[in-house]
Homo-oligomer: A and B are copies of this chain.
């Protein structure tokens, strides 16, 4: 028996692996969450890994079934079938990670040279005397400019409100936080400089608290966007806002409250004060961006759907109501068009190193609204698809958020349904990736036809006036049955049809075929959790070799982090936004035909 060193990516976990234990067993022993529906029998091909460095056992029969010879040559393997033969570096495919494991990945550091807009300087001042009666403001500005050769001129009014007592209680020593030529805050010399990055989605809000000095993510969290109560998707929310200025203001209020609570939570987790947050970057689609700032939205709903604000924007946090450092700014990345917003810019920014040198790339950010870009040698063309919230569990009978008890992975073997839940507790519903697996499995098993019609099957019953496929019945699961209904199938058809028609129209517009696509970058919480194979099976994504797909997690959030940590990244974002041309799907000549076709499965 021998021990080898093993390193798991993208989790970053290292440990020892015995030559007689499978990579799957080793991973589980080391606390790395890999999906395993069949319990290590190589049956469901769900524990996909890629050997990046080192030697492993020869492919088993299961692995030869699971992968093409090219893929095997590229290092693709199943974790349950593979044994180490040397020290190894192993990449776990994102689709094979459990949901909790993927959630942890959200904390991965944005890799960027630190150059945050807010810089800090420690100063020691002389105290006032009859021979030196300078005001407190002037005393700081003079010393700062002199000692650090700056040319600060402005002093935020809210920062000024704290200056005099602070200087006196800290014996004329202070840390001064400067943004461009403006002093935005002062504090103790030990005070950290924190930043907040937010991906403000139509359905979910993801927040990250960062240390601007180290670039480290200190804490992260997600909450629902409370605007949902006033409309599930962008169009219904704009419609609500257009009913009256008070209603529009209400939408701003609830989301700002949610951001403030999220900020509180992020700070509490690591025991820091929200007043120490010196800059925030918030990215969202154009409607979320406008509603956050209480900007007019009616022009977003009328042809030709232009944003009120397209350029990047620096706004005092207090002007929005975000309760962080007095004097702090919120930076908002530029929007591309009425329905392709700063979140897509952030996603393109975060994935630039993936697409910049490729011939033809598709980049999608799947959410309640899905933005798709076709990147043709750096020329970017974008569309917006109203995919709706079905993949986030809404409108699906047994749909739920990706939390404990959600079926995250599912496989149909004959009449039997094998599944794995988040937290390995008894199932209570299906999260997005589970729903997608279910539809794909039912389609592949012939239970659902190409046009989405549910056929008869031993597990199909008639319930509440419609057919439904029982995934987990009451006997198996106490009193709680979990099923996929005919209506659920229709919802998924609409959602996937919206996404696929966006992809198809972009390819059609640019006269390229799907085979020419070198990379498909899939961002967004849902997009990162799905089983690519399932998504391809139902035709949501084009059928391409597995290694052309890349799931990048919440890339919009990562883009927000990058913009938080570096002004260079902000400039890069502006450049990217300027390079994008937008196509309005509704204005595309045969859009309805393409969309209808795209709703078909397979």
Q: Report which A residues bind B (CB closer than 8 A).
A: 128-130, 133-138, 141, 154-155, 157-158, 160-165, 168, 293-296, 298-299, 304-311, 313-316, 318-320, 335, 337-338, 582, 584, 587
Contact = CB atoms under 8 A, between A and B. Distances in A.
A306 to B, nearest CB: 5
Contact of A296 (B163, B308, B309): B163
Contacts of A310: 134-138
A288 to B, nearest CB: 15
Copies in the complex: 2
Given A157-B319, A168-B299, A293-B157, A308 B163 contact: yes
B141 A298 contact: no
Given A135-B310, A337-B133, A298 B165 contact: yes
Given A136-B299, A299-B168, A304-B130, A309 B160 contact: yes
B304 A129 contact: yes
A131 to B, nearest CB: 9
A311 B141 CA distance: 10
A135 B412 CA distance: 49
Contacts of A584: 130
Contacts of A319: 157-158, 318
Contacts of A308: 135-137, 160, 163-164
A249 to B, nearest CB: 11
Contacts of A305: 133
A533 B80 CA distance: 107
A20 B501 CA distance: 99
B157 A313 contact: yes
B160 A295 contact: yes
Contact of A155 (B130, B137, B155, B313): B313
A163 B320 CA distance: 18
A52 to B, nearest CB: 43
A161 B295 contact: yes
30 contacts: A128-B306, A133-B304, A133-B337, A133-B338, A133-B582, A134-B306, A135-B310, A135-B335, A136-B299, A136-B308, A137-B309, A138-B311, A141-B311, A154-B314, A157-B293, A157-B316, A157-B319, A158-B319, A160-B295, A160-B308, A160-B309, A160-B313, A161-B294, A161-B295, A162-B296, A164-B298, A165-B296, A165-B298, A316-B316, A318-B319
B587 A130 contact: yes
A104 to B, nearest CB: 36
Closest 9 CB pairs of A and B: A135-B310, A164-B296, A135-B307, A164-B308, A128-B306, A138-B310, A137-B309, A157-B315, A164-B299
Name, among A165, A293, A296, the residue most crowded by chain B CB atoms within 10 Å (CB to CB): A296
A337 B163 CA distance: 17
A503 to B, nearest CB: 21
Contacts of A158: 319
B157 A306 contact: no
Nearest to A309: B137
Given A133-B582, A296-B165, A299-B164, A128 B304 contact: yes
Contacts of A162: 296
A577 to B, nearest CB: 11
A143 to B, nearest CB: 14
A135 B298 contact: no
A438 to B, nearest CB: 39
A296 B161 contact: yes
Contacts of A161: 293-296
Contact of A133 (B134, B163, B306, B311): B306
Contacts of A315: 157
Given A161-B296, A164-B299, A306 B135 contact: yes
A410 to B, nearest CB: 42
A464 B338 CA distance: 79
Nearest to A137: B309
A343 to B, nearest CB: 16
A565 B280 CA distance: 37
A141 B155 CA distance: 27
A581 to B, nearest CB: 9
Nearest to A315: B157
Contacts of A307: 135-137
Contact of A135 (B134, B311, B587): B311
A128 B307 CA distance: 10
B309 A135 contact: yes
A397 B580 CA distance: 77
A313 B157 CA distance: 9
Contacts of A298: 164-165
Contacts of A138: 310-311
Contacts of A318: 319
Nearest to A330: B157
A294 B160 CA distance: 10
A254 B186 CA distance: 29
Contacts of A306: 128, 133-136
A245 B173 CA distance: 24
Nearest to A582: B133
B311 A155 contact: yes
Contacts of A582: 133
A380 to B, nearest CB: 14
A297 B247 CA distance: 40
Nearest to A293: B157
Given A130-B584, A135-B306, A165-B298, 5 more contacts: A133-B305, A135-B309, A137-B307, A138-B310, A157-B316
A164 B316 CA distance: 21
B304 A136 contact: no
Contacts of A295: 160-161, 164
